[in-house]
Amino acid sequence: MKIVIVNYGSGNLRSVQKGFERVGAISEISDNPQIISDATHVVVPGVGAFSECMKNLERLHLIKPILGGIQAGKPYLGICLGLQILFSTSEEVAKATADGPRTYAAVGMGIIAGKVVRFARGGDKVPHMGWNRIKIEQKNPLFDGIPDHRFFYFVHSYYGQPEAPDWIAATTEHGIPFPSAVARGNLFACQFHPEKSQSAGLRLLANFTKRR
């Protein structure tokens, strides 16, 4: 087993690696396309801006090995931004115009048809930060041993909206119910941070290492 955590210039990489260490798994942080291609398990964590993430992945030639791994059925774990970039577009990019601010779509990897949207203004506090419960919507091996409605740790202002509801593995309430995890086959991605979510998050990481 070779777990590779993709380094595209985001922070939070070492905390993810420490999470795997705590469940007895060895992982490598890399921005080398060949090392990522050779991985048995690919992890894309991330905090920050959607468009900047995609630019860095392109600049480092990392999109092809990530997509190749997903298409080959390798276990993929996306965390926070690593979930959002799976979508077709994000409305995170805003530019000033003569008529006022206007939102432009940033293009993602397109694995999941749908878009990444911001929580509505005037609702619950944005960013959504802190502990919140997840409601498991579909059985998945990564949820083995994790009871429904467990708390996980979130830090985000945007969330993914898949066009096909069968992508949704878990939902969470923050003013509205939103998809907090998506899954299909060996692909699993979560808006919450398992590496910051104590025993439930560590169990999820351990379950990921068992995927083949």
pLDDT tens for 19-37 read: 999 999 999 999 999 999 9
- For 13: left if phi > 0, alpha if psi spans -120 to 50, otherwise beta; the answer is alpha
CA distance 11 to 17: 12
Of 80, 128, 174, 190, catalytic: 80
Give the pLDDT confidence score for residue 103 in this predicted structure.
Answer: 57
CB-based contacts of 58, cutoff 8 Å, min separation 6: none
Q: Is 80 a catalytic residue?
A: yes
Tens digit of each residue's pLDDT (9 = 90 or more) over 120-172: 876 678 999 999 999 999 999 999 999 999 999 999 999 999 999 999 999 99
pTM of the predicted model as reported, rounded to 2 decimal places:
0.93
Q: Summarize the confidence of residues 189-205 as an average pLDDT.
A: 98
- For 26: left if phi > 0, alpha if psi spans -120 to 50, otherwise beta; the answer is beta
CA distance 72 to 92: 30
Tens digit of each residue's pLDDT (9 = 90 or more) over 48-102: 889 999 999 999 999 999 999 999 999 999 999 999 999 999 988 655 555 655 5
Give the pLDDT confidence score for residue 143 in this predicted structure.
Answer: 98
Give the pLDDT confidence score for residue 92 in this predicted structure.
Answer: 80
The shares of helix, strand and coil residues in the chain, as percent rounded to the nearest 5, are 30, 40, 35
Q: Summarize the confidence of residues 169-178 as an average pLDDT.
A: 96
CA distance 150 to 81: 21
Give the pLDDT confidence score for residue 40 in this predicted structure.
Answer: 98
Give the pLDDT confidence score for residue 104 in this predicted structure.
Answer: 57
Give the pLDDT confidence score for residue 12 in this predicted structure.
Answer: 81
Of 53, 92, 190, 195, catalytic: 195
Give the pLDDT confidence score for residue 132 in this predicted structure.
Answer: 98
Cβ-based burial of 3 (10 A; exposed 0-12, middle 13-18, buried ≥19): buried
Give the pLDDT confidence score for residue 95 in this predicted structure.
Answer: 57
Of 41, 128, 156, 193, catalytic: 193
Helix 13-22 vs helix 198-209: angle between axes, to the nearest 10 degrees?
A: 80
Quote the radius of gyration of the chain (alpha carbons, Å): 16
Q: Is 195 a catalytic residue?
A: yes
Q: Is 156 a catalytic residue?
A: no
| Nearest in space to 51 (alpha carbons), one of 103, 2, 122, 11 | 103
CA distance 109 to 87: 6
Tokens (6 digits) for 109: 């990897």
CA distance 166 to 163: 9
Domains present along the chain, CATH in parentheses: 3-209 (3.40.50.880)
